[in-house]
C-alpha cells in the first residue's frame, strides 16, 4: 500500500489504523491521502507531502509535512479549498500558464 516515497515509515510508526490510501505523484513531490480509523471507528484523513532528497552521504531521505483533517471539518475544508482554487484559476493564472503538466514551481516553504 505504501511506497518508498512515503519515507519508509511502517504502519506501527503512524497513528491510527490504516483504512485506505491514495498516493498522488506531482513533480518532485508525492502527496498521500490516507484514511485512518481510531479505535472507536472514528474516521479522519491525513494529508502528507513527501519530497525525496539526497543527503550529504548520497543517501536518500524524505522531507515530510503532514496535516490531520477530522470528519467534522471535511465540509469547511472542502469549501475553503474550492474557493481558493477557483480564485487562483480566475484571478492568478494568465493565458498560456499551465496548472498541470511539465511546468511547476518548486516552492521552498522554509523561505516563506
Domain of residue 51, CATH code: 3.10.450.700
Assess if residue 107 is contained within a domain: no
Assess if residue 101 is contained within a domain: no
Assess if residue 106 is contained within a domain: no
In this prediction, residues 1-16 reach a mean pLDDT of 46
Residue 10: pLDDT band (50, 70, 90) is very low
C-alpha cell at 3: 511506497
- In eight-state DSSP terms, residue 95 is T
Instruction: Classify 87 as helix, strand or coil.
Output: helix
Assess if residue 100 is contained within a domain: no
The single residue listed with the C-alpha cell 519508509 is 8
- In eight-state DSSP terms, residue 96 is T
Assess if residue 40 is contained within a domain: yes
Q: Provide the residue range defining the domain that includes 20.
A: 4-94
Which pLDDT value is given to residue 100?
Answer: 62
CA geometry: angle 51, 53, 59, nearest 5 deg: 135
Alpha helices in 2-109 (DSSP H): 74-87
16-66, pLDDT tens digit by residue? 899 999 999 998 899 999 999 999 999 999 999 999 988 889 998 899 999
Q: Note whether 21 and 32 are within 8 A (CB).
A: yes
76-91, pLDDT tens digit by residue? 999 999 999 999 999 9
86-108, pLDDT tens digit by residue? 999 999 988 777 766 545 455 55
Assess if residue 52 is contained within a domain: yes
- In eight-state DSSP terms, residue 82 is H
Which residues lie below 8 Å from residue 23, measured CB to CB, with a gap of 6+? Answer: 2, 3, 5, 6, 30, 31, 32, 33
Which pLDDT value is given to residue 65?
Answer: 96
Number of domains in the chain: 1
Assess if residue 33 is contained within a domain: yes
Which pLDDT value is given to residue 28?
Answer: 87
Assess if residue 103 is contained within a domain: no
Amino acid at each position: 500500500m505504501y511506497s518508498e516515497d512515503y519515507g519508509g515509515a511502517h504502519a506501527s510508526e503512524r497513528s491510527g489504523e490504516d483504512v485506505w490510501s491514495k498516493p498522488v505523484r506531482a513533480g518532485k513531490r508525492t502527496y498521500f491521502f490516507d484514511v485512518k480509523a481510531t479505535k472507536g471507528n472514528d474516521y479522519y484523513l491525513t494529508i502528507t507531502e513527501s519530497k525525496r532528497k539526497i543527503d550529504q552521504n548520497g543517501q536518500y531521505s524524505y522531507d515530510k509535512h503532514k496535516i490531520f483533517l477530522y470528519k467534522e471539518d471535511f465540509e469547511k475544508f472542502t469549501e475553503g479549498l474550492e474557493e481558493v482554487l477557483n480564485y487562483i484559476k480566475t484571478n492568478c493564472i494568465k493565458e498560456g500558464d499551465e496548472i498541470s503538466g511539465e511546468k511547476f514551481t518548486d516552492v521552498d516553504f522554509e523561505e516563506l
